[in-house]
Amino acid sequence: MMSWNTRITRLLGIEHPFICSGMTYVSTAELAAAVSNAGGLGLIQIGHLTPEQTRAEIRKARTLTSKPFGVGLALIMPGAQENAEVALDEQVPVINFSLGKGAWLCERARAYGGKVLATVVTERHAIAAERDGADGLIVTGHEAAAHGGEVTSLVLVPAIRKVSSLPIIAAGGFANGGGLLAALAIGADAIAMGTRWAMTQESPVHQKTRDLIISKSVDETLYTRNFDGMPCRIMTTPTAVEVTRKPLTLWRALWQSWLLMRRQNTPLAQVWRNFREQGLTATLQLSFFGAAVERIRTAIEDGNHEQGVQLIGQAQGLIDDVPTCAELMQRLVREAEQALADMQGQHAPVSVEAGLRVG
């Protein structure tokens, strides 16, 4: 098997330049550890967890893998700072943050040798993340599940490569090994996949939802602000169409968000601090997101699409099976090797350089 040596594999200490994105209710310790054991980097999504649950998930991952893994969280979420403090205290090898200012996180992680990846969707975000001390970027294009950018990966990755010197992990629209070659060609150093890793044996996604994903094509998604207040990509279902027909009302969002905070035992003092630090706009955005969380959980864990809504990428239409993470990784590497061989055969001679060493 060919070894793909890129700036990302060297930065993170992993074997293959394939990352499992942090996905709410999907990216558990079991899934993250399985991806890391297969030679990639698995991320545990902790934004929706309590600090106690976060610590338990991190420690569980350590019982399942001795290889590097990480955590992911949106800094806008209630309890984000407390969860981040747990990750720092546990000295998690990699921390991935989004939707917030992460300079303090970068400084604290660097103190114990940890690495920080910032998820960005614009050039402005990338410049700010590099200034704040991030070690690498997850550049998330329009094709991605949930909160990808307005610009497709094919355009966004080279645009950010022009303004940032940091290693780039391309996300959005990737589901096979050939995607790695495409990403490398436009300036990335690795790819992150969410939907593809969610469709593995180690993923907690319900069987009914797995069957539904396999049945869907690449054009059966909705990209709308009406689900959680931010541009968000979800699976097209009758429920999703109905839920997003009209914008979510502020009062309903506040009520649903309050219920979520009660389930998470979020103290009012923390909500007030969030308001003072993030401002009214971010606090309202958090309320809209909180209103959507239960629908996300219902689809993923219960397989209920009469009430639930599934976050999904356009790559769903490229997926037709549910392998183990180890099987998927082996396939991804073979596909990347074949794509490279095909490229060299069609356009010989080809020199593979620019931060990538093959062999």
Q: What angle do CA 44, 45, 47 make, to 5 degrees?
A: 145
Strand, coil or helix: what is 74?
strand
What is the tens place of the pLDDT at every residue in 26-77?
999 999 999 999 999 999 999 889 999 999 999 999 999 999 999 999 988 7
Q: What are phi and psi of 195, to 5 degrees?
A: -55, -40
Nearest to 290 by CA among 227, 215, 357: 227
CATH class belonging to 4-206+318-358: alpha beta
What is the spatial distance between Cα 47 and Cα 296, in angstroms, rounded to a whole number? 13
Sequence ranges of the chain with CATH classification 3.20.20.70: 4-206+318-358
pLDDT for residue 304 is more than 50:
yes
Identify the band that residue 228 occupies on the pLDDT scale cut at 50, 70 and 90: confident
Residue 39, by phi and psi: left (phi above 0), alpha (psi -120 to 50) or beta? left
CB–CB of 283/240 below 8 Å?
no
* pLDDT score at 266: 54
What is the tens place of the pLDDT at every residue in 129-186?
999 999 999 999 999 999 999 999 999 999 999 999 999 999 999 999 999 999 999 9
What is the tens place of the pLDDT at every residue in 231-279?
999 999 999 999 898 765 555 555 555 555 555 555 555 554 554 555 5
Strand, coil or helix: what is 264?
coil
Flag whether the pTM goes above 0.85: yes
* pLDDT score at 116: 98
What is the tens place of the pLDDT at every residue in 340-352?
999 887 755 544 4
Identify the band that residue 280 occupies on the pLDDT scale cut at 50, 70 and 90: very low
Mean pLDDT, the chain, as a whole number? Answer: 88
Q: How far is the CA of 154 from the CAs of 101, 122, 233, in angstroms? A: 26, 13, 18
Query: Which residue intervals of 112-219 are DSSP H helices?
Result: 123-132, 153-163, 178-185, 195-198, 207-215
What is the spatial distance between Cα 280 and Cα 293, in angstroms, rounded to a whole number? 20
Strand, coil or helix: what is 98?
strand
